[in-house]
């Protein structure tokens, strides 16, 4: 019943922006990154992919294909699991692409509390890469271009995929944290043997 309602809404409307009275400030949500000290250098990753490798012991497949190409590959993988979900994902991605803007270079986003994410015990730390702002009564997804550009292309693709899937989960399942979104995104960008199933695409499937 819930899945049928989800897809009925997805076909009729693009993902709907959350209402806010914040008056132009940061209103929440948005993806995070991880910076790790490796071999004497700082490495930047998507939190979703870092968690997948370190919490779920997957092998993330990073490559040099274009960000858009890797997002399309993720959409095709979703289509193989659930064609309707893949259609809803593509609609949500169009919304993300239409509403994202880079922040000014020196702007920093304050951390947004979100679920159980933690890099405690590692040589890494988290930071906020993107967040939603209320601007002229419309939500804009603002992202830190400097941090974003330091990520591998696969992690950049994972960040935008996170934004689209979490938008779906907020709009249709009233999600209040991105724990499940990060789980799905991590497996989408892992090797084909990763245990992502059609049921696990839905929040009650985990």
Q: What is the pLDDT of residues 163-185, one digit of tens each?
A: 999 999 999 888 888 999 999 99
Residue 203 clears pLDDT 50, i.e. is over it: yes
Residue 25: what pLDDT? 55
| pTM attached to this predicted model | 0.83
Residue 149 clears pLDDT 90, i.e. is over it: yes
pLDDT, one tens digit per residue, over 94-119 is: 999 999 999 876 677 777 766 666 78
Residue 16: what pLDDT? 29
Over residues 45-59, the mean pLDDT reads 93
Tell me the three-class secondary structure of the chain, residue by residue: CHHHHHHHHHHHCCCCCCCCCCCCCEEECCCEEEEEEECCEEEEEEHHHHHHHHHCCCCECCCCCCHHHHHHHHHHHHHHHCHHHHHHHHHHHHHHHHHEEECCCCCCCCCCCCCCCCCCCCCEEEEECEEEEEECCEEEEEECHHHHHHCCHHHHHHHHHHHHHHHHHHHHHCCCCCHHHHHHHHHHCECCCCCCCCHHHCHHHC
């Amino acid at each position: 019943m819930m899945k049928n309602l989800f897809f009925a809404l997805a076909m009729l409307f693009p993902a709907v922006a959350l209402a806010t009275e914040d008056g132009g400030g940061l209103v929440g949500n948005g993806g995070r990154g991880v910076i790790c000290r490796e071999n004497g250098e700082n490495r930047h990753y998507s939190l979703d992919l870092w968690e997948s490798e370190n919490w779920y012991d997957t092998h993330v497949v990073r490559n040099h294909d274009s960000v858009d190409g890797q997002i399309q590959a993720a959409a095709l993988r979703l289509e193989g699991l659930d064609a309707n979900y893949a259609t809803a994902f593509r609609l949500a991605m169009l919304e993300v692409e239409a509403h994202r803007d880079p922040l000014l270079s020196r702007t920093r986003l304050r951390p947004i509390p979100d679920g159980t994410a933690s890099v405690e015990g590692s040589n890494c730390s988290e930071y906020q890469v993107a967040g939603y702002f209320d601007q002229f009564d419309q939500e804009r997804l603002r992202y830190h271009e400097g941090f974003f550009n330091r990520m591998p292309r696969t992690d950049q693709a994972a960040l935008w995929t996170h934004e689209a899937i979490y938008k779906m989960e907020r709009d249709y399942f009233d999600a209040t944290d991105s724990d499940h979104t990060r789980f799905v995104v991590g497996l989408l960008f892992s090797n084909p043997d990763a245990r992502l199933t059609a049921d696990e695409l839905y929040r009650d499937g985990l």
